[in-house]
Amino acid sequence: MFGNRANGFALGRLRDEVDRLFTGFAENFESAAPSRGFPLLNVWESEGSLHAEAEVPGLRMEDLEILVVGNELIIKGARDAGSDEAEGRVFHRRERGDGVFSRVVRLPIEIDAGKVSATLKDGILSIDLPKAEVAKPKRIEVRHGGK
């Protein structure tokens, strides 16, 4: 019961997001997912946390900055896919895109910013966003009245 109510609310709010995008990534990723920016995100919810996942191939943790400010999740970084001039090489095809990116997503519920953690493995960024105490569902004991 609590879950359903929370999901309905969350969906509407998550759509209301702010994306800021700089050079490079725009062209390549627009075709894959119009006007979404980089990185693309999947977000889901468990009882105690929100979970966000993004595909960020070629990036390491030191290339990424993850911030939670208020109810906004901010993912910033830069990817260097190499230049034409390096090692006397010529690029015949460039689809991967590089440059600086910044993505801001408004989260639907309050997060305990101090407990946010992230892992990065094989280009998959996983962010665990524990809910603030006030945002966790409370089970209400319903007692039989009278007897």
Partner 1 sequence: MSTQTQVEKRTPSEVGRTEQTWSGRYYAPNVDIAETRDELTVFADMPGVGAEDLDVRFENGELRIHGRVKPRQDEKVAYLLNEYSIGDFFRTFQISEAIDSEKISAEYRDGVLVLHLPKVERARPRKIDVKLK
Interacting residues toward partner 1 by CB under 8 A: 7, 10-11, 14, 28, 32-33, 36, 40-45, 50, 53, 55-60, 81-82, 87-97, 105, 108, 122-124
Taken in order 58, 56, 104, 93, the sign of the CA dihedral is positive
The nearer residue to partner 1, 20 or 96, going by C-beta atoms, is 96
C-beta closer to partner 1: residue 34 or 146: 34
Please say which residue, 85 or 141, places its beta carbon nearer to partner 1: 85
Amino acid, single-letter form, for residue 71: N
Would you say how long the chain is, in residues?
Answer: 147
Least separation in angstroms between CB 132 and partner 1: 17
Q: Give the shortest CB-22-to-partner 1 separation in angstroms.
A: 19
Residue 12: what are its φ and ψ, rounded to 5°?
-60, -40
**Which of residues 20 and 60 has its CB atom nearest to partner 1 in the complex?**
60
DSSP string over 32-88:
HSTTT-SS-EEEEE-SSEEEEEEE-TT--GGGEEEEEETTEEEEEEEE----STGGG
